[in-house]
Structure 1
Amino acid sequence: MTACAIEPSAAPGNDGPPPAGCSITADGAYAARLARRGDCWYPERWTLDGPEPYAVPLPGNQPEEPGTEVQPMGDGRVLVHRVAAGRHFFSLLYPTGPGTGELPLGAVECPPDTTVLRLLPPAPGGERAYALATGFRSTVLWQVSGGAFGPERLAEIPGRCSGGVWLDRTGRILAVDRETDGRTKAVVLDLERDGEVSPLLQIAADSDDRLLLADPDSGLVLIRSDAPSPGQDRLGWGVLGSTLPVRFPQCLRLPDCVVTPFAIQPGQALTPERCAVALRVDGALGSWVAVWRPDERRVRHLPAPAGWLTGAGLWTADGELRLPCATPQSPCGVARLPAPPDAGSVRTREGKAESSPPAEPPAPAPEQSPAPGVEDASEVTEPDAPAPSPPRPVPLQQAPLARLVTK
């Protein structure tokens, strides 16, 4: 699999991760970006499942705005989200010979208290696309593509919702971070039950607990919470359906840096603690790549490949991290990084290897006492993790993570 480059299309929210440079389908077959030529922006689709990736420009009748959202669909079309006169318009673009075909899907008109409407990450299967319209008191989930009659309002969720992580491979269970009464907790929506909401993650009553990333194969989840260190967000990990507590490894604490997980190695059904996790690290000197596994006590830091589209990438099942890159010499390339313990070599698409000695991470910050019911990996001796059972069937009626972290 390969990926392509894109300039970030929007700034991150106050509680959201930094934006990634391109959108990739759940199966890695297609990617989409908003490309730039001079002062003009236009959508571009990349085909990634062939012997060599190739790009198809999809310019419309007029240039796109810099903040236009684009998302690849499973059939190769590209969903475009445009905003005009306070309304949100959705269309599917596709190549037609030398031109671009466009299928308008309709528009969503949000009430005045809506603060933002944004696309959710590509859904498994690639047939449908969803968006969250966040207001001051509630959030509306929309299906904007794949329906019979244009955008369809699916559910209204009390509270301000952000994030968005798919927990299964059917596109049924969606996790979002919901803010109510000044606190943020991850909850799950069952799309086959009209968006029925169930609790997913609550470490402490007064903590903010967000879900950042999940792997449906192993059940491994990455979270961000201030429970172990009040006033400071920490990265932690857990396993859906497990009875072990959420862990907050000391090695993931990098002072003066923002650490964001962006890819988990798939295909490790019975060994979530051995999944390789790719991290984006943003610091004063720029951004770079780091690789970590839950059963290790260290993070392997690597210089970002030239032209890396920061924050974008994916793992293959056999443990190769593929990072989309774009340089003037190679407008679309991919750097290949093997999973630990061979994380010190970066390979380009052309097969050239570059030596990449691990960079020293910043010194760890002073440790604080963890909240009750939370294990801090720097203060406990981790036994050899038993092979957990596969993730429980969804919907998550009994909120495995909520039960997991309160013991």
Structure 2
Amino acid sequence: MTVCAIEITTTAPFTIAADGSYAARLAGDGEARYPERWTLAGPEPYAVPLPLAQPEEADSEVLALADGRVLIHRRVERRHAFALLYPTGGAADGPRTGELPLGAVEPGEEGVRICLLPPSPDGCGAFALAASAAGTTVWRVAGGPFGPVARIPGRCSGGVWLDRAGRLLALDRELDGTTKAVAVDLGRGGEVSPLLQIAEGSDDRLLLADPDSGLLLIRSDAPGEPRLGWGVLGSSRPVRFPECLRGEAGTPFAVQPGQALMPETCGVALRLEEGGIGLWRPADRHVFRLAAPEGWLGTGLWSPQGRLHLPYATPETPCGIAGLTLPAAPPPPVRLDPPPPAAPRPVPLQQAPL
């Protein structure tokens, strides 16, 4: 595999279905944009364009579902419309695109931001967030009755799933001048409970979570500056902020699944600000920095075996997947004499347990 330093070539997100079988993006340039579905489950990835009679606006969002359909979110004047797109049977002039309208959300006030949440872990559900200073509503837009399923006080952003059933959703809630991650139970009418309370006045955001191991990737200014940290869901141990991540401007975008009860061994992929990729494990004390493949689309998916799959698109390869493997950590230095026993270290009060 040949890699080189690149810039991310698309402004629209590339989303991967919960089971990794399909992906979707808004392809094209300028005023000639159209949804595109990638099939990832076969021996070689391939893309299927899903154009309609009218090109899509650049701010439209797409989401891949595990059944191969693509959810699209469009803004039509003040309304936000949602529909499912899918390729139809071969016609005389080639395959066509079918469209199934699902419903629309019309904000009742100014300043409401509506966006899709990450794909639901069950593979068929899809949700959107309608956030404003007055409060936030979680809407179900696919995989069940269209409509609101939760109402949360405060302005919420982010969106991270905490389980495999698509019931527990973590959101970053801005309330009374601070931002704290909270857990929303969609199975209990949107019941809200605290998730991150690292310090009373700190901004604590959840960036990623792995339901298998419980690993949480966090950004917080509790240490005195915004830093990346990690913790374990349900653990009584405090959030840790590794020195190797100090000053790291990267954003985690993928966590290795399948490491049950072993969060320290999970591979984590970071999208670095300069365009490269960082690979790291909580058990490691350093970050491996690697160049990204040409045409990288800014995201990826870990396999349980520890291989990172990175989608890319170039004129020569419009639908490609590159693979990276997290290098083995170097062995610790040999110590001839056993170190003295470590003195008990109290947990700082500013780093309260999760």
Q: 1:389 is matched with which residue?
A: none
- After superposition, the Cα gap between the structure-2 partners of 1:262 and 1:90, relative to the gap in structure 1 and judged at 3 Å, is same
- Normalising to structure 1: TM-score of the pair? 0.77
Q: 1:364 is matched with which residue?
A: none
> What does the per-residue CA deviation read over 1:247-291, in whole Å, with 9 as the maximum and x for residues that have no partner?
00111123xx62101111111112111111101110xxx311011
1:380-395 mapped onto 2 (5 Å cutoff): none
Residue 336, structure 1, aligned to residue 323, structure 2: yes
Q: 2:216 is matched with which residue?
A: 221
- Which among 224, 232, 246 is matched to residue 239 of structure 2? 246
Residue 269, structure 1, aligned to residue 263, structure 2: no
Give the distance between the partners of 2:268 and 2:241, measured in 1 at CA.
Answer: 15
Give the distance between the partners of 2:81 and 2:296, measured in 1 at CA.
Answer: 31
- Which among 185, 195, 198 is matched to residue 193 of structure 2? 198
SS at match of 2:206: strand
Residue 6 of structure 1 deviates from its aligned partner by 7.2
Give the distance between the partners of 2:174 and 2:160, measured in 1 at CA.
Answer: 16
Q: 1:181 is matched with which residue?
A: 176
Supply the AA of the counterpart residue of 2:215. L
> What does the per-residue CA deviation read over 1:371-405, in whole Å, with 9 as the maximum and x for residues that have no partner?
94356xxxxxxxxxxxxxxxxxxxxxxxxxxx624
Give the distance between the partners of 1:102 and 1:179, measured in 2 at CA.
Answer: 36
Give the distance between the partners of 1:205 and 1:113, measured in 2 at CA.
Answer: 31
Residue 134 of structure 1 deviates from its aligned partner by 0.5
SS at match of 1:317: coil
Name structure 1 gaps, 5 residues minimum: 10-20, 344-370, 376-402
Residue 87, structure 1, aligned to residue 79, structure 2: yes
Residue 8, structure 1, aligned to residue 5, structure 2: no
Residue 40 of structure 1 deviates from its aligned partner by 0.1
> What does the per-residue CA deviation read over 1:72-99, in whole Å, with 9 as the maximum and x for residues that have no partner?
1121111010001110000101111321
Name structure 2 gaps, 5 residues minimum: 1-7, 90-94, 331-346
Q: 1:46 is matched with which residue?
A: 38
Supply the AA of the counterpart residue of 1:295. A
Q: 1:25 is matched with which residue?
A: 17
- Which among 293, 299, 303 is matched to residue 281 of structure 2? 293
Supply the AA of the counterpart residue of 1:328. P
1:3-402 mapped onto 2 (5 Å cutoff): 7-9=10-12, 21-36=13-28, 39-97=31-89, 98-148=95-145, 151-229=146-224, 232-254=225-247, 258-282=249-273, 286-310=274-298, 312-341=299-328, 372-373=348-349
Is the 1:121–1:165 Cα contact (8 Å) retained in structure 2?
A: yes
Give the distance between the partners of 1:373 and 1:59, measured in 2 at CA.
Answer: 55
Give the distance between the partners of 2:349 and 2:15, measured in 1 at CA.
Answer: 37
Is the 1:223–1:236 Cα contact (8 Å) retained in structure 2?
A: yes
Supply the AA of the counterpart residue of 1:244. R
> What does the per-residue CA deviation read over 1:323-356, in whole Å, with 9 as the maximum and x for residues that have no partner?
111111111111111123189xxxxxxxxxxxxx
> What does the per-residue CA deviation read over 1:45-64, in whole Å, with 9 as the maximum and x for residues that have no partner?
11111122111111011000
Residue 43 of structure 1 deviates from its aligned partner by 0.3
Give the distance between the partners of 2:249 and 2:30, measured in 1 at CA.
Answer: 32
> What does the per-residue CA deviation read over 1:13-70, in whole Å, with 9 as the maximum and x for residues that have no partner?
xxxxxxxx40001110110010105640000111111122111111011000011000
Give the distance between the partners of 1:178 and 1:60, measured in 2 at CA.
Answer: 37
Supply the AA of the counterpart residue of 2:109. P
Residue 243 of structure 1 deviates from its aligned partner by 2.2
Is the 1:262–1:313 Cα contact (8 Å) retained in structure 2?
A: yes
CA RMSD of aligned residues (A): 1.8
Give the distance between the partners of 2:118 and 2:64, measured in 1 at CA.
Answer: 10
SS at match of 1:251: helix
Number of corresponding residues: 326
Give the distance between the partners of 1:66 and 1:103, measured in 2 at CA.
Answer: 21
Is the 1:6–1:22 Cα contact (8 Å) retained in structure 2?
A: no
- Normalising to structure 2: TM-score of the pair? 0.88
Supply the AA of the counterpart residue of 2:174. E
Is the 2:31–2:57 Cα contact (8 Å) retained in structure 1?
A: no
SS at match of 1:154: strand
- After superposition, the Cα gap between the structure-2 partners of 1:342 and 1:228, relative to the gap in structure 1 and judged at 3 Å, is closer
Residue 303 of structure 1 deviates from its aligned partner by 1.2
Give the distance between the partners of 1:281 and 1:175, measured in 2 at CA.
Answer: 24
Give the distance between the partners of 2:230 and 2:23, measured in 1 at CA.
Answer: 28
Is the 2:9–2:296 Cα contact (8 Å) retained in structure 1?
A: no
Residue 244 of structure 1 deviates from its aligned partner by 1.8
